[in-house]
Structure 1
Amino acid sequence: MSNAVNLYYLLGLPACLIIGIAYAWLLYGHTKQLNKHLRFLLATFRAIAVMLVLWLLFSPLIRQISYTLEKPILVIGQDNSISAGNAPSAFNKKKYESDLKTLTERLSRKFEVQVYNFSDSVKSGLDFNYPGKTSNAAHFIKTINNKYLNRNIGAVVLATDGIFNRGGNPIYDLNNLKAPVYTIALGDTIPKKDLLIANVNYNNLVYLDNEFIVEVQTEAYESKGENTKLSIFENGKQIQGQQIQLNSNAFTKSIAVKIKATKPGFHKYTLSLSKLENEASLKNNNQNIIIEVIDDRQKVLIAGAGPHPDIAALKQSITLNKHYDVNVVLNADLDTVKPANYGLVILYQLPSAGYNTANFNKKLKESKAPVWYITGAQSNFTLFNQEQQAVTLALSSSAILETFSNVNPAFSTFSLDENAKRTISQYDPLQIPRLKVILNTMADVAIQQRLGKSNTTIPQLFFTALNGKKTAYLIGEGLWRWRLSEAKSREEAKVFNQLMSQTVQYLSVKDDKRKFKVTPIKNAFDENESILLNAVLYNDSYHPVNAPEVNIQIQDEHKKTFNFSFSRLESAYQLNAGPLPGGNYSYTANTQLGSKKYSSTGAFYVNTLLAEYQQTIANHQLLYTISHQNNGKMYGPENLLQILNDLEQNEQIKTLSYEDRKFEELISFKWIFAIIITLLTLEWVLRKRNAEV
């Protein structure tokens, strides 16, 4: 460390000394009664004290320079995945473990050595058990990069087989370290007789009654001339099988399997290759996948007193979405229909002036199905006003009025782009008797009426949610004109179809009104992932609360149970159940709010990881490339101690010296105050003894 003071402050020091001497002379220059030597000593004490006080008033800064030495950091990373433990028969495992420990110990005498093992996670120290389900060297290098950012990383020693099945190629992250990389080539590069499912491509979400493709990539080594069979099992039952002839020693083939989704829910499919004689590993012959089959098709009922072009236009538009099953029922047939079987009921000009639908309307009320009312000249407005309370349509005259359409800019239930708004405003008019529209509840108005060129705020298409029941209203008939007017300038009525589809979708989507819900963050986890579940509990006002305790019981497919309690968040709950073995799991969560007990059930799947069995041939070429591009070398495990000599001879690996400069005010040094106090105290004591005080 070295210190320096600015020249400006040094020049001020003599001036302060002169002032101090002058002050001391004024104080002691005429004290003849004191001994000459004593008077000189007292004057000296006072002059120095005054000089120091005055100099501190200049706030002088002192520059401090310190030097810190940092040894090179050597990072040793050992691949702890299953494939890294697969070694040729000549491999001496005990010698390798001993040599790696010796290398670590001897390097520690000269360098700062940091040792890690990695697979699907990064941990400190060496571990020769090789339990890792995956190998993610890129994550390891990123961890090192972040932890030792701007530090003196001298070199990286990477002991691995070059099989990296997660995170991608680490070579790009190694370039950011700007340090030589030395690799120890583990594993076996000689192909063995083995048959495996290398990869499976599939869609994990399919729709009921649809066919879906599962693409299975099979590989075989040293098995030319033999045969195997690919079998597909659904929930333990074989559904397909296919013979495969292995016509080369490095065989690969992709097989597309077509499966039909016949039942909703989660389905476990097992893909299995029949084993070969003397096969190296059987674990990679099988792979499980989980596919969720959903039945999101909604049944839509269009009910009317008789045929009408609007009904045909509606059905044609709605059925463009294959997830809607539209049924049109007219007049007397309505008595046989059960509205409870439908996700949405569209009442076209019902109640009707010419047909009595009292029996159907009674069943409709009991079903609590969402309803879309479309009124027109044949509507019975008196019965209409009696059957619903959200809006009152007061008939002023039976004369037909034509009303054009404008999209309400404040509409927010679903989105319509500017092109759609412009197209709707250009539609032909709807027809309706002269009515006074009175809204009796809050409504979200999508389209407002335009009379000629005069814009109004009278609703034409709007939505309500009275008592939690979603309902739509269209005031006017002539939807077929809308569709036809758009089709004149386009090949299809795109905007009309979009408007009808979004209206039907909004009305038919069921709101989840459960007061207690527990859901996993996803339906399928890998076995090295933590199982996370979220829970929410609502009171009677549907405000989230988390005062009660929430317990959950998770059960695997062998009926083994795991009990947990949720942790509380701000207004909800969360559970981290940690990783679980592969298989199907179901859960039941319970809680109690006041006197009411609640439960929630569900399921999830944990996928068994087979990545370490799907590629077993070590990739030493990749390790050589990594070392070569990063100014290092590749070693076999039998001569890894040579790394010690190469590291010591590498002139790039040096101890760094960091210079730290900082300026500090002299007034912050307490020893200066101690000198001033000491001088003044000694002066006072001497004057006291000589009766000068």
Structure 2
Amino acid sequence: MNSYTVLLIILASVLAFAISVFQYKYKEKRSRWKNILAVLRFVSLLTVFLLLLNPKFNSTSNTIIKPNLFLLVDNSESIKPYQQELLKVYNDLSQDAKVDKRFTIKSFTYGADFKELDSISFTDETTDIASALLNIEQIYTTEQTKIVLFGDGIQNIGEEYQYLQLGENFSLDAIAIGDTTQYDDLNVVSLFANDYSFVGNQFPLEANIAYTGKQPVKAVIRVTMNNKEVAKKNITLDKNNSTKNFSTTLKAASAGIKNIAVTVSSSLNEKNLTNNSLETAVEVIDERTKVGIISDYKHPDLGTLKTSIEANKQREVLFLDKPYTDEKLADIDLFIFYQIGAGDKRVVEYAKSKIVGSFFIFGANTDWNGVNKLNLGFEKEDLGQKEAIFASDNQGFSLFDVSDFTPTNYPPLSGELGDILITDPHEILFFQKIRGIDLKDPLLAFFTGEHKVAVLFASDIWKWRMQTYRNENDFTSFDSFMGKIAFYLSSSQQKNRLQLNYDKVFPTPKQALISATFYDKTYRFDEKAQLEITVSRTTDGFSQKTPFVLKNSSYQVDLSNLEAGDYTFTVKEKKEGISTSGSFKISMFSLEAQVNTTDKTRLTQIANNNNGKVYYPNQLANLKEQLLEDDSFKPIQRSTKNVVPLIGFKWLLVILCITLTAEWFIRKYNGLL
């Protein structure tokens, strides 16, 4: 408060006194209450003047700020055998009165998630120490913080925590819980295989084997497929050669899900055998495609088609003869109609009704009047004029990649001149080029509706295959081109309204989740579907039914209540009866069980990187002593100076109300108003 404000307060006091004296000393001469009333009036006036002047005062408040002590407790499965040891040490430290007086203690758990400690269950199936430390650093960047990490140092997901260097306000000590003795141990670290393979193909399998120990050891790697040994290899590992990459190829002899296990064994007396094997699964698909050729002519193109398409061993080409019975046509996945006419209408209609992909090839001998009556989605003008037709690329073609085959400089094909009108949705791959003139008429077009169709408006494609050999000394690019056409057309099948997404092998029951999508008849997502799954265990006949739950844009069902084993299932939409089936396996793989000794090396690294050290449970007293004596983490007193205006003091208003009220009552009851 400055001197000017003090002067104003003095003047206000003098003025309030003068008015009070004048009011009650000179005007109220005979009242026995005049002295009391004068005092009340003086106080009221002075209070009003002070509120109008509103002088400001300095206020200082002191706060004791203690540094943080964050206790991070491992909540994963790997620490469960040592839970009593951990809880004893944690409780002893967290409830220590001296430590509590010096620090603000907060407790957290880490494992699969990082959260404030509410309860400790030791059930997390993964451990991410780095995420826990980084979360603390991000939230408490500006505060002095001591971290004490309780655990075995085992981490199986996330960033390598031992290299972290937290901010300058942080220090970290670790209490190593568990068995710190290093045992000889063989471990299948990882296993890789394709998710899918095709019948008759070879698929690769790769595994990484690790060894912890000092003495050389001879081990055997065994690979089983559906419990039958399919590969075996002897290896030798030692301290300097502690890892081995094992790779092999396995044959997909039959369709179905193949459960594959890789196991490593030796004469070692290992304490931990859980990590000696890993499992995966490969779904073997029967992709063999039957291609049926229907033709009224004998032509070199027919042999070219058969040879080129069968270059892929998963495809078989059959020449179909009349009569075309339903039994004969039922096995066909792709029809090739070569220069057919109206007499083949029944087979064309069959392909349409069954939505079987169709490849039409026409040429100089085609009866266009008969073809136009087949309602194929296009019509061609029949001028009867034969022409040599070259191919001209369409750069805008987008159905599949054909960049490795460009026949623009190849010999011409044989066809007829005439305008072509296509009425169905389509994309053109090659345009016609006749006598050096680029036409808008297609040479090769693909219809993109539900029933996939390709139309080649010329014959003699054997010339293209021969030219490919002249240019490249093999037929690969032409055969690949024909294979892409066959694959695109043979995948022409009605969209499945009920689609599933799930793993063939769930590592643990908690991960057993199946999602489904169901479409209505217009192929829009149906949010009112009633999906139900029936799951059966193959070993003992166990069965259960569970409804799906709608979540966002899909349906999901949680099967975490199931035990480990092999299961078959059927998902059914109850209103329409549409269903689909499959199978899966639930393993009891545990990341936490892969290592069962304390990783004191990494705990030491993280502590050294953050101005701390590693303690053991029997050294808790040393840790407490260090916490209490470390000058880096002392409580500090923080003073806060505030400027407070007089009008902020509510008691002045209370005084004003009391004095005015008292004055009024005295004057009222003594007849002085």
Task: Compute the TM-score of the two structures, normalised by the length of structure 1.
Answer: 0.73
Question: Structure 1 residues 388 and 160 mapped into 2: Cα distance closer, same or farther (>3 Å)?
Answer: same
The reply on whether 1:589 has 2:589 as its aligned counterpart is: no
Distance in 1 separating the partners of 2:293 and 2:217: 61
Shift of 1:631: 0.9
Question: Structure 1 residues 580 and 367 mapped into 2: Cα distance closer, same or farther (>3 Å)?
Answer: closer
- For residue 451 of structure 2, what is the amino acid of its counterpart? K
3-state DSSP class of the match of 2:399? Answer: coil
Question: Structure 1 residues 301 and 600 mapped into 2: Cα distance closer, same or farther (>3 Å)?
Answer: closer
- For residue 399 of structure 2, what is the amino acid of its counterpart? T
Question: Structure 1 residues 415 and 277 mapped into 2: Cα distance closer, same or farther (>3 Å)?
Answer: closer
- For residue 442 of structure 1, what is the amino acid of its counterpart? P
Is the 1:222–1:250 Cα contact (8 Å) retained in structure 2?
Answer: no
Is the 2:508–2:587 Cα contact (8 Å) retained in structure 1?
Answer: yes
Of 333, 341, 345 in structure 1, the residue corresponding to residue 335 of structure 2 is: 345
Is the 2:102–2:634 Cα contact (8 Å) retained in structure 1?
Answer: no
Question: Structure 1 residues 183 and 579 mapped into 2: Cα distance closer, same or farther (>3 Å)?
Answer: farther
The reply on whether 1:461 has 2:452 as its aligned counterpart is: no
Question: Which residue number corresponds to residue 523 of structure 2?
Answer: 542
Question: Which residue number corresponds to residue 18 of structure 1?
Answer: none
Matches within 5 A, 1:130-145: 131-145=123-137
Shift of 1:137: 2.0
Question: Which residue number corresponds to residue 605 of structure 1?
Answer: 585
Of 51, 69, 78 in structure 2, the residue corresponding to residue 74 of structure 1 is: 69
Of 431, 435, 448 in structure 1, the residue corresponding to residue 418 of structure 2 is: 435
The reply on whether 1:503 has 2:485 as its aligned counterpart is: yes
Matches within 5 A, 1:54-203: 71-84=66-79, 97-106=87-96, 107-122=99-114, 124-125=116-117, 131-145=123-137, 148-150=139-141, 152=143, 154-175=145-166, 179-192=170-183, 194-203=185-194
334-343 vs 382-391, which deviates more? Answer: 334-343
Question: Which residue number corresponds to residue 90 of structure 1?
Answer: none
3-state DSSP class of the match of 1:379? Answer: coil
Question: Structure 1 residues 259 and 324 mapped into 2: Cα distance closer, same or farther (>3 Å)?
Answer: closer
Shift of 1:527: 1.3
Question: Which residue number corresponds to residue 373 of structure 1?
Answer: 360
3-state DSSP class of the match of 2:624? Answer: helix
The reply on whether 1:470 has 2:452 as its aligned counterpart is: yes
The reply on whether 1:624 has 2:604 as its aligned counterpart is: yes
Is the 1:211–1:261 Cα contact (8 Å) retained in structure 2?
Answer: yes
- For residue 588 of structure 2, what is the amino acid of its counterpart? T
Question: Which residue number corresponds to residue 24 of structure 1?
Answer: none
- For residue 473 of structure 1, what is the amino acid of its counterpart? V
Shift of 1:376: 0.9
Of 552, 556, 561 in structure 1, the residue corresponding to residue 533 of structure 2 is: 552
Question: Which residue number corresponds to residue 568 of structure 1?
Answer: 550
Distance in 1 separating the partners of 2:615 and 2:248: 44
Is the 1:220–1:249 Cα contact (8 Å) retained in structure 2?
Answer: no
Distance in 2 separating the partners of 1:274 and 1:651: 53
Distance in 1 separating the partners of 2:67 and 2:583: 51
- For residue 641 of structure 1, what is the amino acid of its counterpart? A
Matches within 5 A, 1:600-679: 600-653=580-633
Distance in 2 separating the partners of 1:389 and 1:670: 94
The reply on whether 1:398 has 2:385 as its aligned counterpart is: yes
Question: Which residue number corresponds to residue 21 of structure 2?
Answer: none
Is the 1:77–1:118 Cα contact (8 Å) retained in structure 2?
Answer: yes
Distance in 2 separating the partners of 1:537 and 1:254: 43
Question: Which residue number corresponds to residue 205 of structure 2?
Answer: 214
632-641 vs 531-540, which deviates more? Answer: 531-540
Question: Structure 1 residues 309 and 663 mapped into 2: Cα distance closer, same or farther (>3 Å)?
Answer: farther
Question: Structure 1 residues 162 and 376 mapped into 2: Cα distance closer, same or farther (>3 Å)?
Answer: same
Distance in 2 separating the partners of 1:316 and 1:665: 100
- For residue 522 of structure 2, what is the amino acid of its counterpart? S
Shift of 1:390: 1.2
Is the 1:449–1:456 Cα contact (8 Å) retained in structure 2?
Answer: yes
Is the 2:217–2:266 Cα contact (8 Å) retained in structure 1?
Answer: no
- For residue 441 of structure 1, what is the amino acid of its counterpart? D
Is the 2:451–2:492 Cα contact (8 Å) retained in structure 1?
Answer: no
Shift of 1:503: 3.3
Distance in 2 separating the partners of 1:570 and 1:81: 31
Shift of 1:653: 3.0
3-state DSSP class of the match of 1:621? Answer: helix
Q: Across the two proteins, how many residue pairs are aligned to each other?
A: 648
Query: Percent identical across equivalent pairs?
Result: 22
State the Cα RMSD in Å.
Answer: 5.5
Distance in 2 separating the partners of 1:484 and 1:525: 51
Question: Structure 1 residues 199 and 402 mapped into 2: Cα distance closer, same or farther (>3 Å)?
Answer: closer
Matches within 5 A, 1:132-531: 132-145=124-137, 148-150=139-141, 152=143, 154-175=145-166, 179-192=170-183, 194-218=185-209, 230-240=221-231, 253-273=244-264, 276=267, 279-306=270-297, 308=299, 310-311=301-302, 318=309, 322=312, 324-327=314-317, 329=319, 338-351=328-341, 368-400=355-387, 402=389, 404-407=391-394, 409=396, 411-414=397-400, 429-450=412-433, 455-464=438-447, 468-480=450-462, 500-511=482-493, 513-520=495-502, 522-527=503-508, 529-531=510-512
Is the 2:72–2:107 Cα contact (8 Å) retained in structure 1?
Answer: yes
Question: Residues 150-169 of structure 1: CA distance to partner in whole angstroms, max 9, x if unpaired?
Answer: 45251221233333233242
Is the 1:154–1:654 Cα contact (8 Å) retained in structure 2?
Answer: no
3-state DSSP class of the match of 2:486? Answer: helix
Distance in 1 separating the partners of 2:417 and 2:58: 92
Question: Structure 1 residues 482 and 271 mapped into 2: Cα distance closer, same or farther (>3 Å)?
Answer: closer
Distance in 1 separating the partners of 2:208 and 2:329: 48
Question: Which residue number corresponds to residue 23 of structure 2?
Answer: none
Which runs of 5 or more residues in structure 2 are unaligned?
9-14, 16-26, 29-33, 669-673
Shift of 1:181: 1.4
Question: Residues 399-442 of structure 1: CA distance to partner in whole angstroms, max 9, x if unpaired?
Answer: 32635424164x5534667x98xx56666654421223222333
Question: Structure 1 residues 219 and 568 mapped into 2: Cα distance closer, same or farther (>3 Å)?
Answer: closer
Distance in 2 separating the partners of 1:623 and 1:516: 50
Question: Structure 1 residues 660 and 427 mapped into 2: Cα distance closer, same or farther (>3 Å)?
Answer: farther
Question: Structure 1 residues 547 and 337 mapped into 2: Cα distance closer, same or farther (>3 Å)?
Answer: closer
Question: Which residue number corresponds to residue 19 of structure 2?
Answer: none
Distance in 2 separating the partners of 1:63 and 1:477: 102
Question: Structure 1 residues 529 and 392 mapped into 2: Cα distance closer, same or farther (>3 Å)?
Answer: same
Distance in 2 separating the partners of 1:149 and 1:374: 73
Which runs of 5 or more residues in structure 1 are unaligned?
15-20, 22-33, 57-61, 88-92
3-state DSSP class of the match of 2:275? Answer: helix
Question: Structure 1 residues 506 and 360 mapped into 2: Cα distance closer, same or farther (>3 Å)?
Answer: closer
3-state DSSP class of the match of 1:263? Answer: coil
Is the 2:165–2:609 Cα contact (8 Å) retained in structure 1?
Answer: no
